[in-house]
Amino acid sequence: MTVSFVTGGARSGKSRFAQYLATNMGEGKTVCFVATAPAVDDEMMERIARHQRERPVDWVTVEERHDVVKVLDERRHDVYLIDCLSLLLNNWMYDLNLTEEVFHDLTQRLITCLSNTELDVVLVSNELGLGLVPADALSRQYRDWLGWLNQAVAKVADSVHLVVSGVAIDVKQLPGTTWDF
């Protein structure tokens, strides 16, 4: 099956594009939206509600803050849209208070699942590596770990779409963009 990775900046259109991909993959199939966002305040609850209104009504929504692999392993649906890895990492760091070793273990578990899946999966994440170096150690750690998580997912994905100002390009299709290191 197909693993598609969608990344970009805040408000770049990445979630909308990921929904487009999942909709096209899901014609005649069941689609599951895996929500990783915690509803921590009124503003976040409104964001979640807006995203819910924008999704097709026949999609199933599963809220999973920590273990998206478990959801994929259940194989109850044909297509999965995981939105987003940025908040998943946030939840890992703040809810689970994980060490770097555990972070790498969780990342490897996700990569192994994606590498062996027989499902269509679309994953969304923020691209944070284009901005300034954060001023504090925890923010730098988050930025670094998200960069490593994104790289690992991109490596096993069939397509990697960078979304900028509502325009998506599959960067894996560009010459010279993939290498082993």
CA atoms within 13 A on the CB side of 6: 27
Please count the other Cβ atoms lying within 10 Å of the Cβ belonging to residue 19.
22
The phi and psi torsions of 51 (rounded to 5 degrees) equal -60, -40
CA–CA dist 129, 169 (Å, integer):
18
Evaluated on CA atoms 134, 137, 138, 144, the torsion sign reads: positive
- DSSP letter at 2? -
- List residues with catalytic annotation: 51
CA-to-CA separations, 125 to 29, 165, 175, in angstroms, rounded: 24, 15, 23
